A and B are shown apart, each in its own frame.
Chain A
Amino acid sequence: MMTELTAGFLPLTDSAILIAARERGFAEAEGLALNLVRETSWANVRDKLAVGQFEISHALAPMPIAANLGLTPFDTRLIAPMALGLGGNAITVSNRLLGEMQRQQDFELLDARRAGEALAKVVFAGKSERRKPLQFGVVHPFSGHNFELRYWLSASGVTPEADIEIVILPPSLMADALASGQIDGYCVGEPWNTVGVARGAGRIVTTKSSIWASSPEKVLAVREEWADRDPQTLHALLRALYRSAEWCGQPENHSDLAELLSQPTYLGQPASVILPALDGSILGRSGPAATPDFFQPHSRVATFPWQSHALWFYSQMVRWGYVEHTAHHAGIARQTFRPDIYRSVLSAIDVPVPSANSKVEGALSRTIAVGASSRFLYLGPDGFFDGAIFDPDKLDAYIESQKA
Protein backbone atom coordinates (compact mmCIF):
# COMPACT_ATOMS: atom_id res chain seq x y z
CA MET A 1 0.00 0.00 0.00
CA MET A 2 1.33 3.38 -1.03
CA THR A 3 1.12 6.28 1.42
CA GLU A 4 -0.28 9.44 -0.17
CA LEU A 5 1.58 12.64 0.54
CA THR A 6 0.96 16.09 -0.94
CA ALA A 7 3.62 18.78 -1.25
CA GLY A 8 3.45 22.33 -2.55
CA PHE A 9 6.18 23.83 -4.71
CA LEU A 10 6.89 26.99 -6.65
CA PRO A 11 8.17 26.80 -10.24
CA LEU A 12 11.88 27.17 -9.48
CA THR A 13 14.89 25.05 -10.41
CA ASP A 14 15.52 24.28 -6.74
CA SER A 15 12.25 22.32 -6.56
CA ALA A 16 14.24 19.68 -8.50
CA ILE A 17 14.71 17.27 -5.59
CA LEU A 18 10.97 17.01 -4.95
CA ILE A 19 10.10 16.67 -8.64
CA ALA A 20 12.78 14.05 -9.37
CA ALA A 21 11.70 12.12 -6.24
CA ARG A 22 8.25 11.79 -7.75
CA GLU A 23 9.20 11.33 -11.41
CA ARG A 24 12.28 9.13 -11.14
CA GLY A 25 10.89 6.58 -8.71
CA PHE A 26 12.64 7.56 -5.46
CA ALA A 27 9.37 8.29 -3.62
CA GLU A 28 7.73 5.16 -4.96
CA ALA A 29 10.68 3.03 -3.83
CA GLU A 30 9.92 4.22 -0.28
CA GLY A 31 6.21 3.42 -0.61
CA LEU A 32 5.18 7.04 -1.13
CA ALA A 33 2.70 8.38 -3.68
CA LEU A 34 4.04 11.93 -3.74
CA ASN A 35 1.58 14.48 -5.18
CA LEU A 36 3.05 17.82 -6.17
CA VAL A 37 0.92 20.94 -6.35
CA ARG A 38 2.34 23.99 -8.11
CA GLU A 39 1.63 27.23 -6.28
CA THR A 40 1.70 30.83 -7.43
CA SER A 41 2.84 32.47 -4.17
CA TRP A 42 4.59 31.63 -0.89
CA ALA A 43 1.50 33.01 0.85
CA ASN A 44 -0.51 30.18 -0.72
CA VAL A 45 2.05 27.63 0.51
CA ARG A 46 1.80 29.05 4.03
CA ASP A 47 -2.03 29.01 3.97
CA LYS A 48 -2.26 25.45 2.68
CA LEU A 49 0.26 24.19 5.24
CA ALA A 50 -1.85 25.93 7.90
CA VAL A 51 -5.12 24.22 6.96
CA GLY A 52 -3.43 20.88 6.34
CA GLN A 53 -3.88 20.69 2.56
CA PHE A 54 -0.11 20.17 2.56
CA GLU A 55 1.84 18.29 5.21
CA ILE A 56 5.10 19.31 3.54
CA SER A 57 6.32 21.92 1.09
CA HIS A 58 9.22 23.38 -0.83
CA ALA A 59 9.89 26.53 1.21
CA LEU A 60 12.18 29.53 1.50
CA ALA A 61 14.58 28.67 4.36
CA PRO A 62 13.60 31.67 6.52
CA MET A 63 9.86 30.93 6.13
CA PRO A 64 9.47 28.25 8.84
CA ILE A 65 11.69 30.33 11.15
CA ALA A 66 9.46 33.39 10.65
CA ALA A 67 6.36 31.24 11.20
CA ASN A 68 7.66 29.85 14.49
CA LEU A 69 8.64 33.33 15.64
CA GLY A 70 5.04 34.42 15.07
CA LEU A 71 5.96 36.87 12.31
CA THR A 72 3.47 35.50 9.78
CA PRO A 73 -0.27 34.81 9.92
CA PHE A 74 -1.39 31.52 11.54
CA ASP A 75 0.22 29.74 14.43
CA THR A 76 1.25 26.62 12.51
CA ARG A 77 4.53 25.25 13.88
CA LEU A 78 6.87 24.22 11.09
CA ILE A 79 10.16 22.36 11.12
CA ALA A 80 12.89 21.95 8.50
CA PRO A 81 14.33 18.42 8.79
CA MET A 82 16.13 18.71 5.43
CA ALA A 83 17.53 21.37 3.12
CA LEU A 84 16.80 21.22 -0.61
CA GLY A 85 20.24 22.23 -1.87
CA LEU A 86 22.76 25.06 -1.66
CA GLY A 87 22.89 28.22 -3.80
CA GLY A 88 20.78 28.64 -6.92
CA ASN A 89 20.07 32.40 -6.84
CA ALA A 90 21.66 35.25 -8.76
CA ILE A 91 21.50 39.01 -9.03
CA THR A 92 20.51 40.36 -12.44
CA VAL A 93 20.65 44.03 -13.40
CA SER A 94 19.27 45.92 -16.38
CA ASN A 95 21.55 46.53 -19.36
CA ARG A 96 21.47 50.23 -18.56
CA LEU A 97 22.57 49.71 -14.94
CA LEU A 98 25.28 47.26 -16.02
CA GLY A 99 26.61 49.92 -18.41
CA GLU A 100 26.71 52.50 -15.61
CA MET A 101 28.44 50.04 -13.26
CA GLN A 102 31.07 49.24 -15.89
CA ARG A 103 31.69 52.94 -16.55
CA GLN A 104 32.34 53.41 -12.82
CA GLN A 105 34.65 50.44 -12.46
CA ASP A 106 35.70 47.48 -14.54
CA PHE A 107 34.74 44.14 -13.01
CA GLU A 108 34.42 40.51 -13.91
CA LEU A 109 30.87 39.17 -13.85
CA LEU A 110 30.26 37.03 -10.72
CA ASP A 111 32.93 38.87 -8.69
CA ALA A 112 30.67 39.94 -5.80
CA ARG A 113 33.21 42.32 -4.28
CA ARG A 114 34.11 44.26 -7.44
CA ALA A 115 30.52 44.26 -8.73
CA GLY A 116 29.37 45.57 -5.34
CA GLU A 117 31.95 48.35 -5.43
CA ALA A 118 30.82 49.34 -8.92
CA LEU A 119 27.17 49.39 -7.85
CA ALA A 120 28.01 51.49 -4.78
CA LYS A 121 29.72 54.06 -7.03
CA VAL A 122 26.62 54.25 -9.25
CA VAL A 123 24.40 54.64 -6.17
CA PHE A 124 26.49 57.46 -4.71
CA ALA A 125 26.84 59.23 -8.04
CA GLY A 126 23.05 59.03 -8.33
CA LYS A 127 22.63 60.44 -4.83
CA SER A 128 24.84 63.42 -5.49
CA GLU A 129 22.83 64.15 -8.64
CA ARG A 130 19.59 63.68 -6.66
CA ARG A 131 18.44 60.93 -9.00
CA LYS A 132 15.62 58.60 -8.06
CA PRO A 133 17.03 55.70 -5.99
CA LEU A 134 17.57 52.39 -7.77
CA GLN A 135 14.92 49.72 -7.20
CA PHE A 136 15.73 46.05 -6.73
CA GLY A 137 13.18 43.25 -6.62
CA VAL A 138 13.18 40.21 -4.33
CA VAL A 139 10.50 37.53 -4.00
CA HIS A 140 9.62 37.69 -0.32
CA PRO A 141 10.75 39.53 2.82
CA PHE A 142 11.59 36.22 4.54
CA SER A 143 13.78 34.87 1.78
CA GLY A 144 17.43 34.11 1.18
CA HIS A 145 17.13 36.54 -1.74
CA ASN A 146 16.21 39.49 0.46
CA PHE A 147 18.90 38.72 3.03
CA GLU A 148 21.75 37.97 0.61
CA LEU A 149 20.94 41.05 -1.50
CA ARG A 150 20.93 43.22 1.63
CA TYR A 151 24.17 41.58 2.85
CA TRP A 152 25.88 42.22 -0.49
CA LEU A 153 24.70 45.83 -0.60
CA SER A 154 25.66 46.58 3.02
CA ALA A 155 29.09 44.99 2.74
CA SER A 156 29.59 47.12 -0.39
CA GLY A 157 28.74 50.28 1.54
CA VAL A 158 25.16 50.73 0.28
CA THR A 159 22.39 51.00 2.91
CA PRO A 160 19.19 49.24 1.86
CA GLU A 161 16.07 51.43 2.20
CA ALA A 162 18.14 54.62 2.54
CA ASP A 163 20.27 54.34 -0.63
CA ILE A 164 18.33 51.78 -2.61
CA GLU A 165 14.74 50.56 -2.61
CA ILE A 166 13.84 46.89 -2.28
CA VAL A 167 10.44 45.81 -3.57
CA ILE A 168 8.63 42.47 -3.54
CA LEU A 169 7.67 40.87 -6.87
CA PRO A 170 6.74 37.33 -7.89
CA PRO A 171 9.65 35.48 -9.60
CA SER A 172 7.80 35.03 -12.88
CA LEU A 173 7.26 38.78 -13.28
CA MET A 174 10.86 39.87 -12.56
CA ALA A 175 12.15 39.72 -16.13
CA ASP A 176 9.25 41.76 -17.50
CA ALA A 177 9.57 44.32 -14.71
CA LEU A 178 13.27 44.67 -15.55
CA ALA A 179 12.66 44.92 -19.29
CA SER A 180 10.02 47.63 -18.82
CA GLY A 181 12.27 49.65 -16.49
CA GLN A 182 10.00 49.25 -13.45
CA ILE A 183 13.00 47.90 -11.52
CA ASP A 184 16.76 48.17 -12.07
CA GLY A 185 17.75 44.75 -10.82
CA TYR A 186 16.58 41.71 -8.94
CA CYS A 187 17.73 38.81 -6.82
CA VAL A 188 15.79 35.65 -7.62
CA GLY A 189 16.18 31.89 -7.96
CA GLU A 190 16.74 30.17 -11.27
CA PRO A 191 15.51 29.93 -13.97
CA TRP A 192 14.32 33.53 -13.63
CA ASN A 193 17.76 35.10 -14.01
CA THR A 194 18.53 33.11 -17.14
CA VAL A 195 15.02 33.93 -18.42
CA GLY A 196 15.77 37.65 -17.95
CA VAL A 197 19.08 37.31 -19.81
CA ALA A 198 17.44 35.25 -22.59
CA ARG A 199 14.81 37.97 -23.07
CA GLY A 200 17.57 40.55 -23.34
CA ALA A 201 16.31 42.40 -20.25
CA GLY A 202 19.61 42.34 -18.37
CA ARG A 203 22.72 40.48 -17.25
CA ILE A 204 23.69 38.41 -14.22
CA VAL A 205 26.30 40.38 -12.26
CA THR A 206 26.83 38.09 -9.30
CA THR A 207 25.42 34.99 -7.64
CA LYS A 208 24.38 33.76 -4.23
CA SER A 209 27.31 31.34 -4.40
CA SER A 210 29.69 34.28 -4.91
CA ILE A 211 28.20 36.30 -2.03
CA TRP A 212 28.21 33.35 0.37
CA ALA A 213 29.66 30.07 -0.88
CA SER A 214 27.68 26.90 -0.08
CA SER A 215 24.84 28.92 1.38
CA PRO A 216 21.35 27.65 2.23
CA GLU A 217 18.34 28.43 0.08
CA LYS A 218 15.21 26.23 0.11
CA VAL A 219 14.22 23.71 2.76
CA LEU A 220 11.64 21.01 3.16
CA ALA A 221 9.09 22.64 5.48
CA VAL A 222 7.04 20.16 7.47
CA ARG A 223 4.13 20.70 9.84
CA GLU A 224 5.53 19.75 13.23
CA GLU A 225 2.22 18.26 14.34
CA TRP A 226 2.30 15.89 11.34
CA ALA A 227 5.98 15.01 11.85
CA ASP A 228 5.15 13.95 15.42
CA ARG A 229 2.05 12.06 14.35
CA ASP A 230 3.51 10.16 11.40
CA PRO A 231 7.30 9.82 11.79
CA GLN A 232 7.42 6.69 9.61
CA THR A 233 6.15 8.58 6.57
CA LEU A 234 8.47 11.50 7.28
CA HIS A 235 11.46 9.16 7.51
CA ALA A 236 10.51 7.44 4.25
CA LEU A 237 10.26 10.87 2.63
CA LEU A 238 13.71 11.95 3.85
CA ARG A 239 15.27 8.77 2.45
CA ALA A 240 13.49 9.30 -0.88
CA LEU A 241 14.56 12.94 -1.10
CA TYR A 242 18.15 12.08 -0.22
CA ARG A 243 18.32 9.55 -3.06
CA SER A 244 16.68 12.04 -5.37
CA ALA A 245 19.25 14.71 -4.40
CA GLU A 246 22.07 12.28 -5.19
CA TRP A 247 20.55 11.67 -8.62
CA CYS A 248 20.01 15.40 -9.26
CA GLY A 249 23.64 16.09 -8.42
CA GLN A 250 25.12 13.71 -10.98
CA PRO A 251 26.26 15.57 -14.11
CA GLU A 252 25.09 12.76 -16.42
CA ASN A 253 21.50 13.39 -15.24
CA HIS A 254 21.47 17.15 -15.77
CA SER A 255 19.96 17.24 -19.25
CA ASP A 256 17.31 14.68 -18.27
CA LEU A 257 16.52 16.76 -15.17
CA ALA A 258 16.30 19.97 -17.22
CA GLU A 259 13.82 18.28 -19.59
CA LEU A 260 11.80 16.97 -16.65
CA LEU A 261 11.61 20.38 -14.95
CA SER A 262 10.66 22.06 -18.23
CA GLN A 263 7.31 20.22 -18.40
CA PRO A 264 4.24 22.49 -18.30
CA THR A 265 3.09 21.07 -14.93
CA TYR A 266 6.45 21.93 -13.36
CA LEU A 267 8.43 25.01 -14.48
CA GLY A 268 6.87 25.39 -17.91
CA GLN A 269 10.04 27.00 -19.26
CA PRO A 270 12.36 25.68 -21.99
CA ALA A 271 15.00 23.20 -20.82
CA SER A 272 17.60 25.54 -22.31
CA VAL A 273 16.95 28.16 -19.59
CA ILE A 274 16.91 25.53 -16.82
CA LEU A 275 20.11 23.68 -17.67
CA PRO A 276 22.60 26.54 -16.94
CA ALA A 277 21.82 26.43 -13.18
CA LEU A 278 22.37 22.68 -13.15
CA ASP A 279 25.61 22.46 -15.13
CA GLY A 280 27.02 25.79 -13.94
CA SER A 281 26.95 27.50 -17.35
CA ILE A 282 25.09 30.36 -15.71
CA LEU A 283 27.07 33.01 -17.60
CA GLY A 284 26.71 31.15 -20.85
CA ARG A 285 30.15 29.59 -20.40
CA SER A 286 30.29 25.84 -20.16
CA GLY A 287 33.17 23.45 -19.60
CA PRO A 288 36.12 24.66 -17.51
CA ALA A 289 34.82 28.25 -17.44
CA ALA A 290 31.55 27.12 -15.85
CA THR A 291 30.51 27.80 -12.24
CA PRO A 292 29.77 24.28 -11.02
CA ASP A 293 29.07 25.34 -7.43
CA PHE A 294 26.30 27.77 -8.49
CA PHE A 295 23.57 25.33 -7.40
CA GLN A 296 24.33 22.16 -5.49
CA PRO A 297 21.53 19.72 -4.80
CA HIS A 298 23.80 17.12 -3.23
CA SER A 299 27.54 17.66 -2.80
CA ARG A 300 28.98 19.54 0.20
CA VAL A 301 26.28 17.95 2.37
CA ALA A 302 23.78 20.16 0.55
CA THR A 303 20.69 18.66 2.19
CA PHE A 304 21.88 18.85 5.81
CA PRO A 305 19.83 21.43 7.78
CA TRP A 306 22.64 23.24 9.61
CA GLN A 307 21.41 25.12 12.67
CA SER A 308 24.08 27.73 11.96
CA HIS A 309 22.19 28.47 8.71
CA ALA A 310 18.96 28.97 10.66
CA LEU A 311 20.77 31.28 13.09
CA TRP A 312 22.32 33.33 10.29
CA PHE A 313 18.88 33.95 8.78
CA TYR A 314 17.67 34.85 12.26
CA SER A 315 20.57 37.31 12.70
CA GLN A 316 19.47 39.02 9.47
CA MET A 317 15.83 39.16 10.59
CA VAL A 318 17.10 41.00 13.66
CA ARG A 319 19.43 43.17 11.58
CA TRP A 320 16.64 44.43 9.34
CA GLY A 321 14.14 44.96 12.13
CA TYR A 322 11.77 42.06 11.55
CA VAL A 323 12.23 40.69 15.08
CA GLU A 324 13.77 41.70 18.38
CA HIS A 325 16.83 39.71 19.49
CA THR A 326 16.32 37.66 22.63
CA ALA A 327 17.82 34.34 23.72
CA HIS A 328 14.31 32.87 23.51
CA HIS A 329 13.83 33.98 19.87
CA ALA A 330 17.28 32.69 18.92
CA GLY A 331 16.37 29.34 20.48
CA ILE A 332 13.16 29.14 18.44
CA ALA A 333 15.07 29.92 15.23
CA ARG A 334 17.77 27.33 15.92
CA GLN A 335 15.33 24.59 16.82
CA THR A 336 13.29 25.12 13.65
CA PHE A 337 16.06 23.30 11.76
CA ARG A 338 16.19 19.66 12.79
CA PRO A 339 19.56 18.05 11.98
CA ASP A 340 18.77 15.45 14.67
CA ILE A 341 15.94 13.97 12.57
CA TYR A 342 18.07 14.07 9.41
CA ARG A 343 20.96 12.37 11.18
CA SER A 344 18.98 9.57 12.76
CA VAL A 345 17.14 8.73 9.52
CA LEU A 346 20.07 8.90 7.12
CA SER A 347 22.83 7.42 9.24
CA ALA A 348 20.56 4.38 9.57
CA ILE A 349 20.96 3.79 5.82
CA ASP A 350 24.72 4.37 6.01
CA VAL A 351 24.79 7.88 4.59
CA PRO A 352 27.70 9.94 5.96
CA VAL A 353 26.23 12.71 8.12
CA PRO A 354 27.97 15.53 10.02
CA SER A 355 28.17 14.85 13.74
CA ALA A 356 27.85 18.56 14.58
CA ASN A 357 24.61 20.56 14.29
CA SER A 358 26.33 23.85 13.55
CA LYS A 359 29.50 25.08 11.92
CA VAL A 360 31.34 28.38 11.80
CA GLU A 361 30.21 29.96 8.50
CA GLY A 362 33.09 31.44 6.59
CA ALA A 363 35.76 29.32 8.26
CA LEU A 364 36.47 27.18 5.21
CA SER A 365 38.10 28.87 2.26
CA ARG A 366 38.33 25.63 0.32
CA THR A 367 36.82 22.16 0.26
CA ILE A 368 38.04 19.92 3.05
CA ALA A 369 37.28 16.39 4.18
CA VAL A 370 35.93 16.04 7.70
CA GLY A 371 35.11 13.07 9.86
CA ALA A 372 31.45 12.12 9.97
CA SER A 373 29.32 9.48 11.65
CA SER A 374 30.69 7.13 9.02
CA ARG A 375 33.31 7.64 6.30
CA PHE A 376 34.25 11.15 5.19
CA LEU A 377 32.32 14.22 4.18
CA TYR A 378 33.46 17.04 1.95
CA LEU A 379 32.53 20.49 3.21
CA GLY A 380 33.06 24.04 2.04
CA PRO A 381 34.26 26.44 0.91
CA ASP A 382 31.63 28.39 2.84
CA GLY A 383 33.04 31.92 2.98
CA PHE A 384 31.27 35.26 2.71
CA PHE A 385 32.67 37.50 -0.05
CA ASP A 386 33.73 40.18 2.43
CA GLY A 387 35.71 37.73 4.54
CA ALA A 388 33.41 38.04 7.57
CA ILE A 389 32.94 35.04 9.84
CA PHE A 390 29.65 33.97 11.41
CA ASP A 391 30.26 31.97 14.57
CA PRO A 392 26.86 30.78 15.85
CA ASP A 393 28.32 30.60 19.37
CA LYS A 394 29.02 34.34 19.17
CA LEU A 395 25.57 35.34 17.90
CA ASP A 396 25.20 38.37 20.21
CA ALA A 397 28.53 39.82 19.08
CA TYR A 398 27.69 39.22 15.41
CA ILE A 399 24.33 40.98 15.75
CA GLU A 400 26.00 43.83 17.63
CA SER A 401 28.68 44.20 14.94
CA GLN A 402 26.02 44.61 12.24
CA LYS A 403 24.16 47.42 13.95
CA ALA A 404 24.34 50.62 11.92
Chain B
Amino acid sequence: MTDRLPSVLIIDENTTRASIIEAGLSAAGHTRVTVINEMHGIAAKIALHEPDVIVIDLENPNRDMLENMFQLSRAVKRPIAMFVDRSDKEAMQSAIDAGVSAYVVDGLRQERVKSILDMAISRFNAFSRLERELEEARGALEERKVVDKAKGLIMKSRGVDEETAYKLLRKAAMNGNRKITDVAESLVMSARLLGDEGK
Protein backbone atom coordinates (compact mmCIF):
# COMPACT_ATOMS: atom_id res chain seq x y z
CA MET B 1 0.00 0.00 0.00
CA THR B 2 2.70 2.47 1.03
CA ASP B 3 4.76 2.02 -2.12
CA ARG B 4 1.79 2.58 -4.38
CA LEU B 5 2.49 5.59 -6.57
CA PRO B 6 0.74 8.79 -5.46
CA SER B 7 -2.61 9.63 -7.03
CA VAL B 8 -2.49 12.66 -9.29
CA LEU B 9 -5.13 15.20 -10.25
CA ILE B 10 -4.43 17.29 -13.34
CA ILE B 11 -6.35 20.57 -13.57
CA ASP B 12 -5.97 22.00 -17.04
CA GLU B 13 -8.61 23.63 -19.21
CA ASN B 14 -6.49 22.73 -22.23
CA THR B 15 -7.69 19.18 -22.92
CA THR B 16 -4.86 18.31 -25.31
CA ARG B 17 -2.15 19.33 -22.89
CA ALA B 18 -3.87 17.55 -20.01
CA SER B 19 -4.04 14.33 -21.98
CA ILE B 20 -0.35 14.38 -22.92
CA ILE B 21 0.58 14.76 -19.25
CA GLU B 22 -1.81 11.97 -18.37
CA ALA B 23 -0.24 9.76 -21.04
CA GLY B 24 3.23 10.52 -19.68
CA LEU B 25 2.23 9.63 -16.15
CA SER B 26 0.54 6.42 -17.27
CA ALA B 27 3.67 5.44 -19.19
CA ALA B 28 5.64 6.00 -15.98
CA GLY B 29 3.37 3.54 -14.18
CA HIS B 30 0.85 5.89 -12.56
CA THR B 31 -2.51 4.19 -12.48
CA ARG B 32 -4.44 6.75 -10.47
CA VAL B 33 -4.51 9.86 -12.62
CA THR B 34 -7.57 12.06 -12.98
CA VAL B 35 -7.96 14.96 -15.39
CA ILE B 36 -10.30 17.89 -14.75
CA ASN B 37 -10.86 20.30 -17.63
CA GLU B 38 -13.86 22.05 -16.15
CA MET B 39 -13.57 24.24 -13.04
CA HIS B 40 -17.23 24.01 -12.13
CA GLY B 41 -17.72 22.18 -8.84
CA ILE B 42 -13.99 21.74 -8.39
CA ALA B 43 -14.19 21.52 -4.59
CA ALA B 44 -16.49 18.52 -4.71
CA LYS B 45 -14.30 16.84 -7.31
CA ILE B 46 -11.18 17.28 -5.15
CA ALA B 47 -13.05 15.97 -2.12
CA LEU B 48 -14.14 12.94 -4.16
CA HIS B 49 -10.73 12.03 -5.59
CA GLU B 50 -8.60 12.99 -2.57
CA PRO B 51 -5.50 13.36 -4.73
CA ASP B 52 -1.98 13.19 -3.27
CA VAL B 53 -0.66 15.57 -5.90
CA ILE B 54 -2.43 18.31 -7.84
CA VAL B 55 -0.90 19.67 -11.05
CA ILE B 56 -2.31 22.95 -12.41
CA ASP B 57 -1.39 25.28 -15.25
CA LEU B 58 -0.37 28.82 -14.33
CA GLU B 59 -2.82 30.35 -16.79
CA ASN B 60 -5.71 29.07 -14.72
CA PRO B 61 -7.29 32.09 -13.00
CA ASN B 62 -8.60 29.89 -10.17
CA ARG B 63 -5.29 29.33 -8.40
CA ASP B 64 -6.16 31.84 -5.66
CA MET B 65 -9.45 30.07 -5.07
CA LEU B 66 -7.77 26.65 -4.94
CA GLU B 67 -5.02 27.77 -2.56
CA ASN B 68 -7.61 29.24 -0.24
CA MET B 69 -9.52 25.98 -0.34
CA PHE B 70 -6.37 24.01 0.51
CA GLN B 71 -5.77 26.26 3.51
CA LEU B 72 -9.29 26.10 4.86
CA SER B 73 -9.24 22.35 4.21
CA ARG B 74 -12.94 21.96 4.73
CA ALA B 75 -13.21 20.42 1.29
CA VAL B 76 -9.89 18.64 1.61
CA LYS B 77 -9.38 16.28 4.53
CA ARG B 78 -5.59 16.42 4.45
CA PRO B 79 -3.64 19.69 4.39
CA ILE B 80 -2.22 20.52 0.97
CA ALA B 81 0.85 22.67 0.45
CA MET B 82 2.60 24.09 -2.50
CA PHE B 83 5.15 21.59 -3.71
CA VAL B 84 7.85 23.91 -5.01
CA ASP B 85 7.81 25.72 -1.68
CA ARG B 86 9.81 22.89 -0.19
CA SER B 87 11.81 22.19 -3.28
CA ASP B 88 14.92 23.82 -4.63
CA LYS B 89 14.87 27.17 -6.37
CA GLU B 90 15.83 25.59 -9.70
CA ALA B 91 12.82 23.29 -9.74
CA MET B 92 10.65 26.29 -8.96
CA GLN B 93 12.18 28.31 -11.74
CA SER B 94 11.74 25.59 -14.35
CA ALA B 95 8.15 24.90 -13.27
CA ILE B 96 7.25 28.57 -13.59
CA ASP B 97 9.04 28.87 -16.92
CA ALA B 98 7.11 25.85 -18.17
CA GLY B 99 3.86 27.40 -16.88
CA VAL B 100 2.92 24.77 -14.34
CA SER B 101 2.51 24.53 -10.60
CA ALA B 102 1.95 21.62 -8.23
CA TYR B 103 0.49 21.06 -4.79
CA VAL B 104 0.99 18.01 -2.58
CA VAL B 105 -0.66 16.66 0.54
CA ASP B 106 1.42 17.16 3.63
CA GLY B 107 3.62 14.27 4.64
CA LEU B 108 4.22 12.91 1.17
CA ARG B 109 7.91 12.25 0.65
CA GLN B 110 9.44 14.75 -1.72
CA GLU B 111 11.33 12.33 -3.95
CA ARG B 112 8.06 10.57 -4.76
CA VAL B 113 6.61 13.82 -6.02
CA LYS B 114 9.64 15.27 -7.75
CA SER B 115 9.35 12.85 -10.68
CA ILE B 116 5.71 13.83 -11.18
CA LEU B 117 6.57 17.51 -11.30
CA ASP B 118 9.51 16.81 -13.62
CA MET B 119 7.18 14.89 -15.90
CA ALA B 120 4.65 17.75 -15.87
CA ILE B 121 7.37 20.29 -16.63
CA SER B 122 8.76 18.32 -19.57
CA ARG B 123 5.28 17.68 -20.97
CA PHE B 124 4.32 21.34 -20.62
CA ASN B 125 7.48 22.30 -22.48
CA ALA B 126 6.83 19.65 -25.12
CA PHE B 127 3.33 21.02 -25.55
CA SER B 128 4.61 24.58 -26.01
CA ARG B 129 7.05 23.27 -28.61
CA LEU B 130 4.21 21.44 -30.34
CA GLU B 131 2.15 24.63 -30.39
CA ARG B 132 5.03 26.56 -31.91
CA GLU B 133 5.47 23.89 -34.58
CA LEU B 134 1.76 23.96 -35.28
CA GLU B 135 1.97 27.71 -35.65
CA GLU B 136 4.81 27.30 -38.13
CA ALA B 137 2.89 24.60 -40.02
CA ARG B 138 -0.05 26.94 -40.23
CA GLY B 139 2.33 29.55 -41.61
CA ALA B 140 3.59 27.05 -44.21
CA LEU B 141 0.03 26.33 -45.27
CA GLU B 142 -0.58 30.05 -45.69
CA GLU B 143 2.55 30.32 -47.84
CA ARG B 144 1.33 27.53 -50.13
CA LYS B 145 -1.98 29.30 -50.54
CA VAL B 146 -0.22 32.51 -51.56
CA VAL B 147 1.86 30.68 -54.16
CA ASP B 148 -1.30 29.06 -55.56
CA LYS B 149 -2.98 32.43 -55.78
CA ALA B 150 0.01 33.99 -57.55
CA LYS B 151 0.07 31.12 -60.02
CA GLY B 152 -3.60 31.71 -60.75
CA LEU B 153 -2.96 35.39 -61.42
CA ILE B 154 -0.12 34.60 -63.86
CA MET B 155 -2.16 31.91 -65.60
CA LYS B 156 -4.95 34.39 -66.18
CA SER B 157 -2.89 37.43 -67.23
CA ARG B 158 -0.45 35.48 -69.42
CA GLY B 159 -2.80 32.79 -70.58
CA VAL B 160 -0.38 30.00 -69.58
CA ASP B 161 -0.82 26.65 -67.82
CA GLU B 162 -0.06 26.04 -64.15
CA GLU B 163 3.38 24.54 -64.67
CA THR B 164 4.53 27.50 -66.78
CA ALA B 165 3.12 29.92 -64.26
CA TYR B 166 5.12 28.24 -61.51
CA LYS B 167 8.29 28.32 -63.63
CA LEU B 168 7.83 32.07 -64.25
CA LEU B 169 7.39 32.62 -60.56
CA ARG B 170 10.49 30.58 -59.72
CA LYS B 171 12.54 32.40 -62.35
CA ALA B 172 11.50 35.80 -60.97
CA ALA B 173 12.50 34.62 -57.52
CA MET B 174 15.89 33.34 -58.65
CA ASN B 175 16.63 36.51 -60.62
CA GLY B 176 15.77 38.68 -57.66
CA ASN B 177 17.51 36.34 -55.23
CA ARG B 178 14.27 36.09 -53.25
CA LYS B 179 12.05 33.34 -51.89
CA ILE B 180 9.23 32.17 -54.14
CA THR B 181 6.71 32.93 -51.42
CA ASP B 182 7.98 36.50 -51.16
CA VAL B 183 7.60 37.05 -54.90
CA ALA B 184 4.17 35.41 -54.82
CA GLU B 185 3.14 37.59 -51.90
CA SER B 186 4.16 40.83 -53.58
CA LEU B 187 2.40 39.73 -56.77
CA VAL B 188 -0.83 39.01 -54.90
CA MET B 189 -0.50 42.27 -52.98
CA SER B 190 0.02 44.39 -56.05
CA ALA B 191 -2.84 42.62 -57.84
CA ARG B 192 -5.01 43.43 -54.86
CA LEU B 193 -3.88 47.07 -54.90
CA LEU B 194 -4.55 47.36 -58.62
CA GLY B 195 -7.92 45.73 -58.20
CA ASP B 196 -7.18 42.76 -60.45
CA GLU B 197 -7.97 40.16 -57.85
CA GLY B 198 -11.17 38.21 -58.26
CA LYS B 199 -11.93 39.63 -61.70
Contacts and interface: CB of A to CB of B under 8 A. Distances in A.
A242 B64 CA distance: 30
B194 interface: no
Interface string B81-101: 110110001001100100001
Contacts of B61: 40-41, 170, 172-173
Given A40-B58, A73-B85, A74-B85, A51 B92 contact: yes
A50 interface: yes
Contacts of A169: 62, 65
Interface in B55-81: 58-65, 67-69, 71, 81
Q: Which of B61, B64, B65, B68 has the most CB of A within 10 A?
A: B64
Contacts of A168: 64-65, 68-69
A47 B96 contact: yes
What is the size category of the interface that chain A forms with chain B?
20 to 34
Contacts of A73: 81-82, 84-85
Nearest to B60: A40
A41 B82 contact: no
A53 interface: yes
B85 A41 contact: no
Interface string A32-47: 0000000011111001
A44 B63 contact: yes
Interface string B115-150: 000000000000000000000000000000000000
A47 B101 contact: yes
A50 B89 CA distance: 9
B92 A44 contact: no
A168 B69 CA distance: 8
Contacts of A139: 64
Given A44-B58, A47-B101, A51-B89, A170 B64 contact: yes
Contacts of A170: 61-62, 64-65
Given A47-B101, A51-B93, A42 B64 contact: yes
B96 A41 contact: no
A42 B64 CA distance: 7
Given A40-B58, A73-B81, A48 B68 contact: no
Contacts of B69: 168
A141 interface: yes
Given A47-B101, A73-B81, A73-B82, A41 B60 contact: yes
Nearest to B59: A40
Interface string A150-178: 00000000000000000111101100000
A22 interface: no
Contacts of A51: 89, 92-93, 96
A140 interface: yes
Contacts of B81: 73
A53 B96 contact: yes
Interface in A43-61: 43-44, 47-48, 50-51, 53
Contacts of B93: 51
A136 B35 CA distance: 29
B11 to A, nearest CB: 13
A11 to B, nearest CB: 10
Interface string A302-331: 000000000000000000000000000000
Given A41-B60, A44-B58, 4 more contacts: A41-B64, A43-B101, A168-B65, A170-B61
10 contacts: A40-B58, A40-B61, A41-B62, A41-B64, A43-B64, A73-B85, A74-B85, A139-B64, A168-B65, A170-B62
The 10 closest A-B pairs by CB, nearest first: A170-B61, A43-B63, A41-B63, A73-B85, A168-B68, A168-B65, A73-B82, A40-B61, A51-B93, A41-B64
Interface of B: 58-65, 67-69, 71, 81-82, 84-85, 89, 92-93, 96, 101
